[in-house]
Structure 1
């Protein structure tokens, strides 16, 4: 064969070139369509699960993620087969690559296992306000690899599932009620009983505060420049911040009106005559 003659090269290898091109085109079509189908089915499973009252949002999102990734893996295998890689050869290749993939993807596989554990033990769910791996936010999504949260100022935080479940988990939405603790410092010359009575009246007037357990309002500490009175009240979890802010504001206004001062740290200089 004359390798300088394009006509002879094409005549000899045209069938192979055309076959390779058709296989590549078929694999590309399978890949594009398959990935679209995987995304569509994943979203369909998610939407269907969210409509079922017996399945909460956390499981619905997780099921949708699992379906999408499972179909994506099947599509990749199908695309390789269309490309010309036989099933037996594919199994051999996957077997040879299993160890390397397992070592290189230890973190990803650990996240998947951790995601499954989160679904089983349910330490938190969608819309819960939690602290994971040292960061706090509202849970927006739990997928195979990570937990997506939003901070109160709407910053997106993505915590790998392995880190989320490995550390201490604080779930501020785990119970229906929470205790609101607010500490007020008054001057040593002020009437403690009067200050307690003022705080007590404000707490009793708030319908969001529960009567059982009864609110706790007592002197808890003697600081260098103040007598500390703490109010501990039980409320529904959703009312926690509003009650905390309202009590702080109303007590400050009532103290000003009733002549109760809130001191600030200061330094007193004493000069001795020689």
Structure 2
């Protein structure tokens, strides 16, 4: 190969290849921008028509992937790669690809089933796959959860669909579980009356069903009172902490002593 041949190659083939690569990059950037705009417009239209956010996000994911695949095939066609040959190559490697993607396809199928069965929707507070938090998005392959400590967590749809789902937002209210340990000598019936009055004053406590304040158990320290107000899941932690404060305040105002175990020693 002489200098003239090299110069001819650089002057024709290499420059043409660089131009095609540059054009492909421009197509990719512009195409991705157009895809984001199209998906945004579709989702905005669905939101204006009050379509469920879960369905909106799921369809948005499907449209995004479909348009990205179309964009990639278009760029390959620009380079002269026949899409039919490309598809034949993928079909020839179908066994290996199927083994590698079996889990992803299972997650996709589980997501489709959940979209139909609707065990939860975007915004619900749930416990799924060992993760508790608010549903942010039901994607093609995974469900995005925002945990109470503000951590984004993605759980595979297959794990969600095959595990127990607890939806704390499905019913109007949920119960807050607290207990009050009384000291020996404190009248439990009087304590129940005081705690009922205090819990009823807590903001966002549901009136129906009414708060449950009952004699739960007896211990060496004294009687144990179950304090169980009901509230919407959005106010759960506020009612939880306010109930603790109400128990402490009632005990302080009533002058209850600090609970302590009492043992009676019998001498032979």
- TM bin, normalised by shorter chain, reads 0.7 to 0.9
1:256 to 242, 252, 256: 252
Task: Give the alignment's Cα RMSD to 1 decimal.
Answer: 2.8
2:38 to 38, 41, 48: 41
The residue that corresponds to 2:150 in the other structure is 154
Moved more, 230-239 or 133-142: 230-239
The residue that corresponds to 1:135 in the other structure is 131
Moved more, 188-197 or 241-250: 241-250
The residue that corresponds to 2:56 in the other structure is 60
What per-residue deviation string (whole Å, max 9, x for no partner) do you get for residues 56-84 of structure 1? 22222222211111100111111111111
1:235-274 correspondence runs (5 A) = 235-264=231-260
The residue that corresponds to 1:8 in the other structure is 5
What are the ranges of 5 or more consecutive residues in structure 2 without an aligned counterpart?
Answer: none
Post-superposition offset of 1:219? 1.0
User: Scaled by the length of structure 2, what TM-score is found?
Assistant: 0.86
Secondary structure at 1:105 match in 2: helix
1:30-179 correspondence runs (5 A) = 30-53=27-50, 55-179=51-175
The whole-number CA distance in structure 1 between the counterparts of 2:193 and 2:138 is 47
User: Scaled by the length of structure 1, what TM-score is found?
Assistant: 0.84
Q: Give the direction of change, closer, same or farther, for the CA distance of 1:111–1:7 in structure 2 (3 Å limit).
A: same
The whole-number CA distance in structure 2 between the counterparts of 1:207 and 1:150 is 25
The whole-number CA distance in structure 2 between the counterparts of 1:242 and 1:12 is 73
Moved more, 56-65 or 211-220: 211-220
Post-superposition offset of 1:207? 6.4
The whole-number CA distance in structure 2 between the counterparts of 1:203 and 1:12 is 85
What are the ranges of 5 or more consecutive residues in structure 1 without an aligned counterpart?
Answer: none
Native 8 Å contact 2:107 2:156 kept in 1:
yes
